[in-house]
Structure 1
Amino acid sequence: MPSPPRPSSPAAFRVLPPSADVVIVGGGVMGASIAFHLAEAGVRDIVVVERGELACGSSGKPIGGVRAHFSDPLNIELGLRSLRAFQDFPHRPGADIRLDTVGYLFLITGEGQAAEFTESVRLQNSLGVPSRLIDAAEARRLCPYLSTEGLVAAVHSPTDGHARPGLVVHGYADAAAGAGVRFATHTRVTGMDISGDRVSAVHTDSGTVTCSTVICAAGAWSARIGVMAGVDLPVRPVRRQLAFTERLSPAAPRIPFTIDFTSSAYFHNSDDGLLFGLADPRQPDGFDTTWSPEWLELFQDVVRRRAPALASMPIADGWAGLYEVTPDHNALIGRAAELSNFLYATGFSGHGFLQAPAVGEVVRDLHLGREPCVDITPMSADRFRSGAASRPEAHIV
């Protein structure tokens, strides 16, 4: 199976300096966004440490959904701020990310779901998100592949859509490199030195970097980084798989990013075909990213009822990536209570790509001692110690 396409980038080079003001662990979308926002704010002497190539982890897997459709104010605000940043990406930082504002379409098959989505839409509308509840017939007009049998309603969020994650990562990284950020790729973190309540150095398989601040943006590997610093980051890796159809003739209509909420099956346009995905509830934790064609049977079983034509479409390719899942499926963002110079942004449970621009702003402000644009106190990793974990968000894509 071929690997996901990744654009080449002048930012991806192997340089590990002996010291840095800020060490960011993780060269995915979160690490690149944080590096860009710090450099833009005038922070100098930043190094990003990445175990492989930039975007080689989950950030390079092109699901690419971007949305503000959530059921709580904090995630809505992070999504909305990020949507605006994605729209402005050609100007800041300056890259084409192939943003396609086709909207999101959530399919509802139960009256209880309909009631919950009605409340979510009311909240979203109050915060400036133009989502709306629609009937099954309108859902089918938006997505002609749908069968309306058993479909109670749907929610359409027209300003959402999808972009190319690899282009976003490299857009941020190239701009950050232009501002002096150094990227140490193929460099694995192996340990940390702790002096009192601070991290004083980061050890890697390419050498040691003394530092003033460490920021963990290591995605599915964050729990391991936390252990090195003595910080509990409850993140577990879970495999998620997707597939691409062969080129379709006639061409697929331009459709929303469509999600069957009950099953988690989703699909959207991708080049000259469609992208398919589904979260397998039986998937065990682990770092396995082997793509299994048998997984397609799960997807096909669902879409035979909801979008029958998709079940027989020929598949050209597929691959697997890792979700970074927390116990309540909400992110971990904050400063460690144990170490005053250890910050983290991880555990996004499928929402990291779409929230990366706003989270880059938040971590920038935390580092600079400024009040962040949103109150991220509920995202503290300490919430699991205090029993204040929030209600789980839908974590489909």
Structure 2
Amino acid sequence: MAQPPELPSHASVVVVGGGVMGVSTAYHLAQAGVNDVVLVEKDELGSGSTCKAAGGVRAQFSDRVNIELGLRSLRTFETFTETFGQEIDLHQVGYLFLLDRPEHVAAFERNVALQNELGVPSRMIEVAEAKTLSPMISTDGLLAAAWSPTDGHCTPESVVLGYAGAARRAGARLLRGCTVTDIASTGGAVTGVVTDRGTIATDAVICTAGAWSKAVGDMVGVDLPVEPMRRQILTTEPIPGLDPRTPFTIDFSTSLYFHCEGPGLLLGMSDPDETPGFKLKQSDGWLPRLADAIEHRVPALAETGLGAGWAGLYEMTPDHNALVGEAREVSRFLYATGFSGHGFLMGPAIGEVLRDLYLGRTPVIDVSGLHAERFAASETRPELNIV
């Protein structure tokens, strides 16, 4: 068996976590000329939440900064193959939010107005048009829908491969099978990253560890209020006559969603009875609720057989908004985590933001409101458009 690469004794910066956030950050740092960028991942690259994601990419959010992050990332996904030489199977079939409550319609009308102001081509549409776009749905009880044609979905593993290859070509070192056990600090400053393979001396750490970020923050006394929450996904058997242009469709009040996956569909739904924890096994407990939602909103699927499925982890924060910034408690500890289900789609832009924060530049997007200390100061900023 091949021996793992030798652990470097020193790094200018160590990125902890090898999902899309981590490899994007490593690439942008190395591409900007930062020498000795090292990324450490306890397993395989993308093996955490990234490879379990549904792959949705969108800019339809309720919070300004999330709209900006989603839109900037979408533009990267659109040119990803040309830029990185990696096909990501991007399908810009649009996102369609189905709305059956007056308060949701009013909220999405406000959201669309803000999205349009920021350059997102979203719009409110009538129920009949929603049915035309997503023919399998039942319109029973629907009042309106929100639609943006440039949203869609792609393959998360391919995005990780593209960034990882580009990061290596730019000079970054990506170490798999390397678990961080501690972060050393002296006098309020980071001095090294301790791993199960040895210690890397460094004065800067960037935490992109997803659902595992709280433990990383605790190593240096930084509170990153992130809880792991299981989300489950299923695929269906092939569906004859399935339109490949079917949008990423979300029944907002139940959170049931689906999009094309090969000759069938990928579908999922949150479980309000789910409790926090690192639970990665599938549970049957949500299936009756899922079946009820399908029967109500997509009855055409009721007789369709289900195929493979899996469970992954959302990294939830109290206000469902991310934690991005640099710690005040310890020098040169940066973080990007807690995206509450929309981390994969923001990975491209967040890599640029973390590059800028590390280099002391004004970030390409103002993320100052996402600092982790906002909860102690009662400065929450809830994101409403999550499923």
TM-score (norm 2): 0.97
Supply the distance in 1 between the matched residues of 2:285 and 2:377 (Cα, whole angstroms). Answer: 41
Counterpart in 2 of 1:43?
34
Find the residue that maps to 2:295 and give its secondary structure.
helix
How much is the aligned-residue C-alpha RMSD, in angstroms? 1.5
Could you report, residue by residue, the CA deviation over 1:157-180 in whole angstroms, capped at 9, with x for unpaired residues?
101000100000111001101122
Give the conservation status (yes or no) of the 8 Å contact 1:106–1:156: yes
Counterpart in 1 of 2:375?
384
1:144 to 135, 140, 159: 135
Greater mean alpha carbon deviation, residues 216-225 or residues 128-137: 128-137
Counterpart in 2 of 1:224?
215
1:25 to 8, 16, 34: 16
Could you report, residue by residue, the CA deviation over 1:114-153 in whole angstroms, capped at 9, with x for unpaired residues?
1111111111111111111111111010001011110111
1:374 to 347, 357, 365: 365
Matched, 1:234 2:218: no
What is the identity, as a one-letter code, of the residue corresponding to 1:173? A
Find the residue that maps to 2:319 and give its secondary structure.
coil
Matched, 1:261 2:252: yes
Give the conservation status (yes or no) of the 8 Å contact 1:14–1:183: no
Matched, 1:132 2:123: yes
What is the identity, as a one-letter code, of the residue corresponding to 2:124? L
Superposed displacement of residue 297, structure 1: 2.5
Counterpart in 2 of 1:58?
49
Superposed displacement of residue 298, structure 1: 2.1
Could you report, residue by residue, the CA deviation over 1:268-300 in whole angstroms, capped at 9, with x for unpaired residues?
001111001101111110001001245333211
Supply the distance in 2 between the matched residues of 1:272 and 1:171 (Cα, whole angstroms). Answer: 25
Find the residue that maps to 1:70 and give its secondary structure.
coil
Greater mean alpha carbon deviation, residues 285-294 or residues 62-71: 285-294
Give the conservation status (yes or no) of the 8 Å contact 1:300–1:310: no
Find the residue that maps to 1:34 and give its secondary structure.
helix
Structure 2 counterparts to residues 1-397 of structure 1, below 5 A = 14-396=5-387
Superposed displacement of residue 13, structure 1: 6.0
Could you report, residue by residue, the CA deviation over 1:285-331 in whole angstroms, capped at 9, with x for unpaired residues?
00010012453332111011111012221111000000001110000
Give the conservation status (yes or no) of the 8 Å contact 2:53–2:344: no
Give the conservation status (yes or no) of the 8 Å contact 1:143–1:256: yes
Superposed displacement of residue 251, structure 1: 3.8
Give the conservation status (yes or no) of the 8 Å contact 1:15–1:185: no
Give the conservation status (yes or no) of the 8 Å contact 1:20–1:209: yes
Which consecutive residues of structure 1, in runs of 5 or more, have no partner in the other structure? 1-11
Greater mean alpha carbon deviation, residues 12-21 or residues 276-285: 12-21
Find the residue that maps to 1:90 and give its secondary structure.
helix
For the structure 1 residues 147 and 25, does the alpha-carbon distance in structure 2 shift closer, same or farther, using more than 3 Å as the test? same
Percent identity of paired positions between Structure 1 and Structure 2: 54
Give the conservation status (yes or no) of the 8 Å contact 2:250–2:258: yes
**Count of matched residue pairs:** 386
Give the conservation status (yes or no) of the 8 Å contact 1:252–1:273: no
Could you report, residue by residue, the CA deviation over 1:338-364 in whole angstroms, capped at 9, with x for unpaired residues?
112100000000111111111111000
Could you report, residue by residue, the CA deviation over 1:79-107 in whole angstroms, capped at 9, with x for unpaired residues?
11000011011122231111100000000
Which consecutive residues of structure 2, in runs of 5 or more, have no partner in the other structure? none
Supply the distance in 1 between the matched residues of 2:4 and 2:47 (Cα, whole angstroms). Answer: 14
Supply the distance in 1 between the matched residues of 2:243 and 2:282 (Cα, whole angstroms). Answer: 25
Greater mean alpha carbon deviation, residues 218-227 or residues 115-124: 115-124
Find the residue that maps to 1:105 and give its secondary structure.
strand
